[in-house]
């Protein structure tokens, strides 16, 4: 059976698949999305939240490039918080509790109303190729769809299985079907298959919780949203709660650790080091008398509560015992048990910075199939894969974001140059230039690229240009001097009054003063938005640090601009260490910058490459 011809086929409808599909369709590409189950579109299989440390930056970057995750999160927010407010702006990140059910509904509606996009429920079983180039997809129903590009966004569904104690079921998350046949096709094309594992905690009935024994966690008011298209912040309509395990909880786990699949050998996959199960925490951190967890609402339309921090794959009877040992959970009712899930993924070092396979032309991979964890990492990759597939079809240069331009650039560069031996999670510490890659300036950094690839409308681009004008206006105002007699308000903020007055910029550099205070006390920034005032405060207070980072960025750019030949035999270069030769021949870095970040390539090796490819001009 022969189906319609398409330009791009997206395999999967999770967060990567949704962004890929919309990026292609919105740029005029005839696109097909294949979903195992339409009810799983944009499904929040784990925690009912979007954003978090470093992840909030990813969502804002997706938005700045014209993606949908930030828009959808803002539509469905139950509670919004800015994490790390007590720390510097480089590590502050938005995190939203979202309505799990509405998030799916709203994203599905967006996809269904998108021109150039066809959505079908079917299982992709084979990726079809000819002479090293992708030509289409075959499905379980026997349908063949032809396409110039195929983007694999299969999430955790490839040969996935659920594990709860001794109970094992071939299944995707939440009881959805797994994809049982596509792994073989991907492997036959030469891609290395790995087995990873992640997990999720139990969902408990909200009415069975004694909330008086937990600490209330409120949302933040008057902070930015994920999307610049959102006109005002949604009200915080739900609260979360903080709780702790205890020694009794830990004793129950230790007494049943032999039944934990993680330690009994039932689990084969490698799990995320930065998001361990509770049984893993108890084992690894035996000196701790308690571990914190959070109670998070799943939706405004259900009583289910997500117990963030108590992921487990222990048997159901042990789960009930350990949960009920916790203060406030004495009568708790588990509605859905915690479980581990294993799944297949590929070696990310077999893909290019465009997310196209190094082995098969026109075949792209995005999301957890590349070994990452998290909705935000998946959405970012999906967007970039969709953008680059679309650009290739339109005979335009690819979009490859650099490490100094976006967290997305850091994410993809890490995957293709360093690879990962566990589910990769984005963290602020991974970004060398995180003071530049802040939550508040994502649109300033990336909107120009979104416009260039065709995902930013003229109307939205004007909003971006107006923001730049407001910033320039505010910075000009900062050069104005205020006389000493008009600075008496400084005493309220424990700041001394300069005898000769001061410029507004000099005042903002003070520890206890910011642009909003200046506005409230002097009205100097009339008609300047509050978010602009926050932005210039950061730019002024951290001016010296930003200048130092800029110098580092300038040095890094030189290496990134040096392109290396592909299919080059590095054993022909005298002086390279054997390990460097092996790694360079295997991964074939595209630039000198990429080569410098490959594990096993030393600074001395990079210097040698510089001599050959820059000074000698070898090609």
Architecture of domain 561-615: Orthogonal Bundle (1.10)
How far CA 470 is from CA of 113, 143, 449, 475, 523, in Å, comes to 35, 54, 20, 9, 15
Query: Is residue 215 helix, strand or coil?
Result: strand
Cα angle, residue 525 at apex, residues 520 and 531 outer, rounded to 5°: 85
- Residue 617 confidence (pLDDT): 56
pLDDT at 619: 46
* Sole residue written with tokens 């990769």: 424
pTM, entire model: 0.92
pLDDT below 70 — which residues of the chain?
1-3, 615-619
DSSP string for residues in 106-170? HHHHHHHT-TTEEEEE--EEEEEEETTEEEEEEETTS-EEE-SEEEE--TT-BT-EEEETTEEEE
Residues in the chain: 619
Q: Where are the domains of the chain?
A: 203-342, 458-546, 561-615
Contact between 263 and 279 under an 8 Å Cβ cutoff? The reply is yes
Taking the domain 203-342, which CATH number applies? 2.40.30.260
Fold of 458-546: Arc Repressor Mutant, subunit A (1.10.10)
Collect all residues with Cβ–Cβ distance below 8 Å to 306 and sequence separation of at least 6.
47, 48, 201, 203, 295, 296, 297, 298
Per-residue CA distances from 26 to 23, 40, 78, 432 (Å)? 5, 22, 28, 33
Q: What is the CA radius of gyration of the chain?
A: 26
Give the Cβ contact number of residue 2 at 10 Å: 10
């Amino acid at each position: 059976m022969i189906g319609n011809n398409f330009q791009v086929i997206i395999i999967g409808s999770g967060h990567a698949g949704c962004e890929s599909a919309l990026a292609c369709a919105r740029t005029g590409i005839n696109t097909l999305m294949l979903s195992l189950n339409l009810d799983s579109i944009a499904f929040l299989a784990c925690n009912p939240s979007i954003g978090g440390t470093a992840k909030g930056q990813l969502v804002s970057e997706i938005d700045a490039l014209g993606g949908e995750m930030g828009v959808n999160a803002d539509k469905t927010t139950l509670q919004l918080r800015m994490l790390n407010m007590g720390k510097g702006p480089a590590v502050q990140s938005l995190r939203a509790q979202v309505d799990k059910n509405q998030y799916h509904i709203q994203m599905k509606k967006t996809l269904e109303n998108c021109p150039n996009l066809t959505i079908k429920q079917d299982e992709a079983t084979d990726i079809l190729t000819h002479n090293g180039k992708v030509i289409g997809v075959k499905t379980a129903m026997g349908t063949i769809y032809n396409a110039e590009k195929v983007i694999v966004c299969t999430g955790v569904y490839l040969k996935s299985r659920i594990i709860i104690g001794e109970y094992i079921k071939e299944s995707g998350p939440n009881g959805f079907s797994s994809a049982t046949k596509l792994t073989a096709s991907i492997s036959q094309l030469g891609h290395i298959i790995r087995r990873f594992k992640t997990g999720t905690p139990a969902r408990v009935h909200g009415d069975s919780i004694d909330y008086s024994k937990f600490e209330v966690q409120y949302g933040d008011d008057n902070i930015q949203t994920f999307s610049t298209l959102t006109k005002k912040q949604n009200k915080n309509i739900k609260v979360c709660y903080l709780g702790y395990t205890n020694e009794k909880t830990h004793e129950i786990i230790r007494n049943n650790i032999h039944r934990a699949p993680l330690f009994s050998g039932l689990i084969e996959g490698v799990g995320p080091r930065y998001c361990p199960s509770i049984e893993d925490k108890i084992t690894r951190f035996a000196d701790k008398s308690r571990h914190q967890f959070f109670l998070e609402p799943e939706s405004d339309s259900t009583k289910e509560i997500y117990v963030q921090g108590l992921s487990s794959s222990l048997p159901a009877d042990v789960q009930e015992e350990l949960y009920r040992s916790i203060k406030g959970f004495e009568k708790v009712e588990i509605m859905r048990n915690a479980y581990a899930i294993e799944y297949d993924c590929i070696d990310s070092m077999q893909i290019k910075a465009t997310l196209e396979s190094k082995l098969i032309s026109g075949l792209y991979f995005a999301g957890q199939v590349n070994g990452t964890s998290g909705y935000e990492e998946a959405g970012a990759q999906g967007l970039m894969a969709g953008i680059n597939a679309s650009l290739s079809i339109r005979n335009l240069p690819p979009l490859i974001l650099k490490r100094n331009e976006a967290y997305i650039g850091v994410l993809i560069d890490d995957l293709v140059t360093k690879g990962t031996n566990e589910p990769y999670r984005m963290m602020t510490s991974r970004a060398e230039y995180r003071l530049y890659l802040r939550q508040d300036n994502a649109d300033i950094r990336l909107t120009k690229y979104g416009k260039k690839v065709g995902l930013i409308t003229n109307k939205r681009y004007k909003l971006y240009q107006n923001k730049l004008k407001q910033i320039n206006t505010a910075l000009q105002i900062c050069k104005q001097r205020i006389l000493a007699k008009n600075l008496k308000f400084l005493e309220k903020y424990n700041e001394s009054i300069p005898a000769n007055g001061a410029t507004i910029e000099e005042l903002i550099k003070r520890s206890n003063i910011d642009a909003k205070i200046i506005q409230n006390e002097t009205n100097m920034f009339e008609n300047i938005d509050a978010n602009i005032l926050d932005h210039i405060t950061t730019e002024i207070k951290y001016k010296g640090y930003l200048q130092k980072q800029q110098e580092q960025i300038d040095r890094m750019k030189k290496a990134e601009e040096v392109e290396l030949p592909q299919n080059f035999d590095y054993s022909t270069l005298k002086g390279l260490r054997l390990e460097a030769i092996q790694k360079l021949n295997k991964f074939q870095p595209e630039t000198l910058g990429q080569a410098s970040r490959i594990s096993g390539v030393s600074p001395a090796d990079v210097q040698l490459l510089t001599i050959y490819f820059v000074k000698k001009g070898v090609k």
